[in-house]
Amino acid sequence: MKIKLIVLIIFSFIYTEAISQKYITKTGKIEIFSQTPLFTIDGVNKKVASILNAANGDIVASTLVRSFRFEEALVEEHFNENYLEPNKFPKSIFKGKIVNFSDVDINKNGTYDITIAGKLTIHGVTHDISEPGKLIVKDGNITGTTSFNVSLQDYKVKIEKAYKKAIKDAILLKIHFNYKLYKKS
């Protein structure tokens, strides 16, 4: 009887540890892209922080808007000064969850189709989103990817009249996170 109790306690401890695992990245990547015959917006931010809670699929991601880099300095200047205004709205944040996280086995290598749903805040405006993505589990690490369009108008990003035809309202976001198991030190 005592052996069964000890085994049960050990199993409970292991199970509790397993379900409370968190995966993090501080070097997530968001790429933004839009192209018209007159203008191309092509930027990348490699300083995105994110936490994935392996117990329930909750995700939080945050980035400083000023961390986006562009090939053309003028595009970067306009992005920061005229459009995203990081002095007023320094961060973009996503808080949500993987809706079908129960379909993912983080202990088994594989590629899993997921749906991410939550609140995305850009330029001080928050909207609910629900987008498809993938989780790739390989040797204890998790990679999360998704891509979707956001509307500049929906997030109250104002485009000057002179550039209305040169810049699309829909901006493609490609998101890539390489999560590592968070180990308390």
Nearest Cα to Cα of residue 39 among 152, 151, 167: 167
Structural domain span for residue 170: 21-181
Per-residue pLDDT of the chain (185 residues; tens, 9 = 90+): 555 434 344 444 444 444 469 999 999 999 999 998 888 889 999 999 999 999 999 999 999 999 999 988 888 998 888 899 999 999 999 999 999 999 999 999 999 999 999 999 999 999 999 999 999 999 999 999 999 999 999 999 998 888 788 889 999 999 999 999 998 86
pTM: 0.86
Residue 184 is predicted with a pLDDT of 81
First CA to last CA across the chain, in angstroms? 36
Domain count, the chain: 1
In a domain, 4, yes or no: no
What is the domain-level CATH number for residue 167? 2.40.128.110
In a domain, 130, yes or no: yes
- Do residues 57 and 98 make contact, with C-beta atoms less than 8 angstroms apart? yes
CA–CA gap between residue 133 and residue 115 (Å, rounded)? 6
